[in-house]
Chain A
Amino acid sequence: MSSAMIERIVNAVFETLYMVILSGFIGTVLGVAMGVALYITRRGNFLERPLFNRVLSIIVNIGRSVPFIILALAIVPFTQLLVGTFIGNTAAVVPLTLAAIPFVARLVEGALLEVPDGLIEAAQAMGATPQQIIFRVLLPEAAAGIITAITVTFISLIGYSAMAGGIGAGGLGAVAINYGYNRYDTGVMLITVIIMIVMVQGIQTLGDRLVRRAQHR
């Protein structure tokens, strides 16, 4: 393999990491917020808002039901508006983030539903404000579930970022398609696949370790 190709692959690794980490970070922050909003406004919960909850839920479902490749193409005008172009790694962060938010939101809502109602009741009996309940009870108690959700999200984003490589973004996906597939370079294809496997394994291992640390048993 030529040194130019090696350099290309190394650059692609950084491009993939750039897309995944940036969209994963923004997606996590906004997704957790949306997941909390879904949870607390549920019927019977402490900031019950049935109408708001239903609207938010429908939005999340729509976000979850559009396949990533379609989403990325469909929001091209929005991406153009936001970053000035729809080509390149930064442009890819927009659809990646939009795909991550509803994904994280649903998983976080699920993790919060696992927190026993009694804990919230106990906090209310102590005179906790809704904000205190969220930050001192709900999120810490659901930490393990939330970390699991974030882990799954980052792994999905690696896959999505490769798809983005097929429609104008860079990264390992672009290298695999342009060189491995279009130029029949089996060696390049194999290497990109192996690098992605290593990335996924790494994220999963890190996630598992953090979950264990959050569990306290």
Chain B
Amino acid sequence: MIQLDNVTRIFGQGTAAVRALDDVSLHVPAGSITGVIGTSGAGKSTLIRCVNLLERPTSGCVSVDGTDLTSLAERDLRRARHDIGMIFQHFNLLNSRTVRGNIALPLELMGVTRSDIQARIDPLLELTGLSGRADAWPATLSGGQKQRVAIARALASRPKLLLCDEATSALDPQTTASILTLLRDINDQLGLTILLITHEMEVVRNICDRVALLSEGRIIEHAATGEFFTRPASTEGRSFLNDYLELPPSRSLQQRLLSEPAEDRHPVVRLTFHDDSAARVLASNLARRFDVDLAILQSRIEEVRGRTLGLMIAEIIGPASRTRQVLEHLHTLELDVEILGHVQRHD
């Protein structure tokens, strides 16, 4: 649906020039929900604006649904934009129009007749859960409702592609979840291709089929979401994942943790599993093989696209000689091991 080829966008000139996008190539398959994640300043906004040419690439090629947009004349580009819906972080609704008026706007711009416009609005209101609010003014709506209006407006021209520019970043977690569900439903029901940019792993995890990681204007990773969450290939990908999958030691554990090992102390480790098969039987395996006990102090299990991610903080209980063996063994397994410290034996 979208094909970006070697897209570079440079702002400014000479020594002040900034490469917002640096030779980016990206394919977004039709019918998919693709996410672009990155920290602020990574070039996400520029990237999504290059897709409908709100931002013109300095070089490179942007094609949507087989049409090379960069080669189009102004007039044809405007027509092509009717097939590309867009929603924004700050909704960008017209305060001078009601909900109905906002949804009608793109249709008026296209020259759809008044009666056809009215006929198209009601199904959109229903789809986005806004029935009954047709005549409300945007100023009276909540953030979530405003984004629903924006989605209805973006869908009014029956686009094949929807661009979402940080569409949930101004919303609270609950509202974010409901908007993401709506986007998922639209993708399912209308077969709409969605490209979204976000800085939140939660958004990617919830609805994206594929994810690209953008860093300093370059795409450094592009994978299926499940793959990205379980085996990020890049350092930055891992750091995103670690920030997302945080499992900090509890306050009471922190107070008991000592940095040095000793004969009468047990090691405390944080284990990160990228595959659940090992996690399920790890404790009993270790117990059998090394004659130790594994006391699970804290844990967190997440499922992403059929893959399980697990974090666990555990105390390895046993004589020092055996716990050392356990630690060595853990390092040979396919999981991340981090020794948080040691706690005093109680007996």
Q: Which residue of B lies closest to A118 (CB)?
A: B92
Judging by beta carbons under 8 Å apart, are A141 and B95 in contact? yes
Kindly identify which residue among B92, B94, B137 contacts A217, using a CB–CB cutoff of 8 Å.
Answer: B137
B106 interfacial contact with A, CB 8 Å: yes
Could you tell me the distance in whole angstroms from the C-beta of B9 to the nearest C-beta in chain A?
16
Cβ contact within 8 Å between B81 and A127? yes
Tell me, yes or no, whether A140 is within 8 Å of chain B by CB.
Answer: yes
Q: Known A121-B54, A122-B88, A216-B139; judge A129-B78 contact (CB<8 A).
A: yes
Report how far A158 CA is from B342 CA in the complex, Å.
86
Say whether B109 contacts A118, CB under 8 Å. no
Cβ contact within 8 Å between A136 and B90:
no
Q: What residues of B have a CB within 8 angstroms of the CB of A127 in the complex?
A: 77-82, 106, 109-110
Q: Which of the residues B79, B96, B108, B163 comes within 8 Å of A214, measured between beta carbons?
A: B96
A140 contact set on B, CB distance < 8 A: 94, 96-97
A81 in contact (CB, < 8 A)? no
Chain B, 280-335, CB within 8 A of any chain A CB: none
Are A128 and B139 also in contact (CB < 8 A) when A119-B92, A122-B88 are? no
Interface flag for B147 (CB, 8 Å): no
User: 8 Å CB contacts to B: which residues of A167-217?
Assistant: 214, 216-217
Q: Per-residue 0/1 for B76-117: is the Cβ within 8 Å of any A Cβ (1 yes, 0 no)?
A: 011111101010101010111100000001101110000000
Indicate if the CB atoms of B52 and A125 lie closer than 8 Å.
Answer: yes
User: Is A126 in contact with chain B by the CB < 8 A criterion?
Assistant: yes
Q: Is the CB of B139 within 8 A of A126?
A: no
Chain A nearest CB: distance from B117 CB in Å?
A: 13
User: By the criterion CB–CB under 8 Å, are A128 and B95 in contact?
Assistant: no
Distance of A153 Cα from B138 Cα, bound (Å): 30
In A52-81, the 8 Å CB interface with B consists of: none
Whether A116 touches B92, Cβ cut-off 8 Å, given contacts A121-B54, A125-B52, A127-B78, is yes
Closest-CB distance, A48 to chain B (whole angstroms)? 13
Known contacts A143-B96, A216-B137, A217-B137: does B54 contact A124 (CB below 8 Å)? yes
Chain A, residues 109-134, CB within 8 Å of chain B (1/0): the string is 00000001011011111111100100
Q: In the bound complex, do residue A136 and residue B108 qualify as a contact, i.e. CB atoms below 8 Å apart?
A: yes
Known: A132-B109, A140-B97. A126 touches B81 (CB 8 A): yes
Query: Is residue A26 contacting chain B, with contact meaning CB distance below 8 A?
Result: no
B230 within 8 A of A: no
Contact between chains at B86 and A122 (CB < 8 Å) = yes
User: Given A121-B54, A140-B97, A217-B139, is A128 in contact with B109 using a C-beta cutoff of 8 Å?
Assistant: yes
B174 within 8 A of A: no
The CA-CA distance from A129 to B75 in the complex, in Å, is: 8
B215 within 8 A of A: no
- Chain A residues with Cβ below 8 Å from B84 are 125
Residue of A nearest to B101 (CB): A140
- Report the Cα distance A127→B153, complex, angstroms: 13
Question: How far is A141 from B102 in the complex, measured between Cα atoms in Å?
Answer: 12
Determine if A125 and B86 form an interchain contact, defined as CB atoms under 8 angstroms apart.
Answer: yes
Q: How far is the CB of A215 from chain B (nearest CB, A)?
A: 8
Interface digits, A2-25 against B, CB 8 Å rule (1 contact, 0 not)?
Answer: 000000000000000000000000
Inter-chain contact A136/B109, CB cutoff 8 Å: yes
Which A residues lie within 8 Å of B106 (CB)? 126-127
Quick check: A126 and B105 within 8 Å, CB to CB?
Answer: yes
Q: Give the shortest distance, in Å, between A125 (CB) and chain B (any CB).
A: 4
* Chain B min CB distance to A122 (Å): 4
Interface residue B140 (Cβ < 8 Å from any Cβ of A) = yes
- Neighbouring A residues of B96 by C-beta, 8 Å: 140-141, 143, 214, 216
| A30 on interface, CB distance cutoff 8 Å | no
- Tell me which residues from 31 to 77 in chain B have a Cβ below 8 Å from any Cβ of chain A: 52, 54, 77
- Taking CB atoms, residues of chain B closer than 8 Å to A121 are 54, 88, 92
**B157 interfacial by beta-carbon distance below 8 Å:** yes
Give the distance in Å from the alpha carbon of A118 to the alpha carbon of B150 in the complex.
Answer: 13
Interface residue ranges of A121-169 to B (CB < 8 Å): 121-129, 132, 136-137, 140-141, 143
Contact A118 B137 (CB under 8 A): no
Chain B hits for A125, CB < 8 A: 52, 54, 81, 84, 86, 163
Chain A residues near B110: list those with CB within 8 A. 127
Q: Kindly state the separation between the CA atoms of A122 and B88 in the bound complex, as whole angstroms.
A: 8
A119 surroundings in chain B (CB, below 8 A): 92, 94
Complexed CA–CA distance, A132 and B108 (Å): 9
Contact check, B105 vs A136: say whether CB atoms are below 8 A apart: yes
- Across the A-B interface, give the 10 residue pairs with the lowest CB-CB distance, nearest first: A127-B81, A122-B92, A140-B96, A217-B139, A127-B78, A118-B92, A125-B86, A126-B106, A216-B137, A127-B82
Seed contacts A119-B92, A143-B96; 13 additional CB < 8 Å A-B pairs = A116-B92, A118-B92, A122-B88, A125-B54, A125-B84, A126-B81, A126-B82, A126-B86, A127-B82, A127-B109, A128-B78, A140-B96, A217-B137
| 11 chain-A/chain-B pairs, Cβ below 8 angstroms | A116-B90, A118-B88, A118-B92, A124-B54, A125-B54, A125-B86, A126-B81, A126-B82, A141-B94, A216-B138, A217-B137
